């Protein structure tokens, strides 16, 4: 059972680790293809948040965002493989923050080709987030039940009346 759990974590984390490795290898002076794809979406998100909040947001360098994404995916994936819950939290944080920005299906109409592609990618990210939340819940429930069982006191038997 432990081997299959480890194998499942390896296969799941390989999605994040391999994409982080590819982003790392393509990262150049300009941030690579990931920065070129992310830049207009990040500007659109920043403008939307600025209009909603009523304040001007500071300039965000796209290369720094891409390097943070690589770090979150790489470190989170590696920690997740060894069963560390902090890795699951890092991957969940990545999915919650980056997925709505990267897969901005809400900026397109339902008849646009981009809408269905981006919506599919976004829903896949939601499914991955669900799997991570399930893992986190299982890890938390296992640690609380094992700590409860170790804290139980042994009851002394009542003496029998004659």
DSSP secondary structure letters along 19-83: HHHHHHHH--TT-HHHHHHHHHHHHHHHHHHHHHHTSPPPP--HHHHHHHHHHHHHHHHHHHHTT
Q: What is the pLDDT of residues 29-79, one digit of tens each?
A: 888 888 898 999 999 889 888 998 999 888 889 999 999 999 999 999 999
**pLDDT category, 140, cuts 50, 70, 90?**
confident
Average pLDDT over residues 136-141: 88
| Angstrom distance (rounded) from CA 52 to CA 117 | 27
Quote the pTM value: 0.79
Helix (H) or strand (E) holding 138: helix 113-151
**pLDDT category, 141, cuts 50, 70, 90?**
confident
């Amino acid at each position: 059972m432990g081997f299959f759990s480890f194998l499942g974590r390896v296969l799941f984390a390989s999605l994040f680790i391999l994409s982080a490795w590819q982003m790392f290898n393509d990262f150049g002076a300009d941030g690579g293809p990931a920065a070129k794809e992310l830049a207009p979406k990040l500007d659109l998100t920043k403008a939307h948040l600025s209009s909603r909040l009523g304040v001007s947001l500071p300039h965000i360098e796209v290369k720094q965002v891409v390097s943070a994404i690589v770090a979150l995916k790489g470190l989170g994936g590696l920690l997740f493989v060894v069963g560390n819950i902090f890795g699951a939290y890092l991957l969940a944080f990545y999915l919650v923050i980056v997925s709505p920005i990267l897969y901005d299906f809400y900026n397109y109409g339902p008849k646009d080709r981009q809408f269905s592609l981006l919506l599919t990618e976004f829903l896949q990210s939601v499914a991955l987030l669900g799997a991570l939340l399930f893992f986190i819940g299982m890890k938390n429930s296992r640690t609380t039940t094992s700590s409860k069982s170790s804290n139980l006191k042994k009851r002394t038997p009542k003496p029998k009346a004659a």
